[in-house]
Amino acid sequence: MAGLTVYGLKNCDSCKKAMKALDEAGLAHRFVDIREEVDRVVKVPDWLDAVGAKALVNTRSTTWRNMSDEDRAIAEDDPAGVLIAHPTLIKRPVIEAGTAVSVGWSASSLASLTASAAE
């Protein structure tokens, strides 16, 4: 498997945990900041197709909690538009491993990435 691409924010704790775990597991990866280095108009629809809005929209974020009910309704109708405009609403990290996309981080995330790397 070619290296992994980890999309996130530099100050995100989940992204830091993922990067540390990937380093410790010896899995090659690169980090890409979703605010500064990503063409979200291209990536967000791809991610939504891969994992769906329920997985990609971070409804636990401060940004989501501060949104009006009207804006939240718009997010349900047009998740791509809202995620493109508000990258902090993207649940992190988004990890691309070839054509596979995963969102969030847990011990099972590392296990599945390690298993994929072994194939």
The one catalytic residue among 1, 3, 4, 12? 12
Question: Which residues are CB-contacts of 101 (< 8 A; sequence separation ≥ 6)?
Answer: 46, 47, 50, 51, 94, 95
Ordered alpha helix ranges (H), 6-106? 13-25, 40-51, 53-56, 62-65, 69-77, 79-85
Instruction: Report the C-alpha gap between 50 and 52 in whole angstroms.
Output: 6
Please provide residue 31's backbone torsions phi and psi, each rounded to the nearest 5 degrees.
-100, 135
Active site residue 15: no
Cβ(3)–Cβ(28) under 8 Å? yes
Catalytic residues: 12
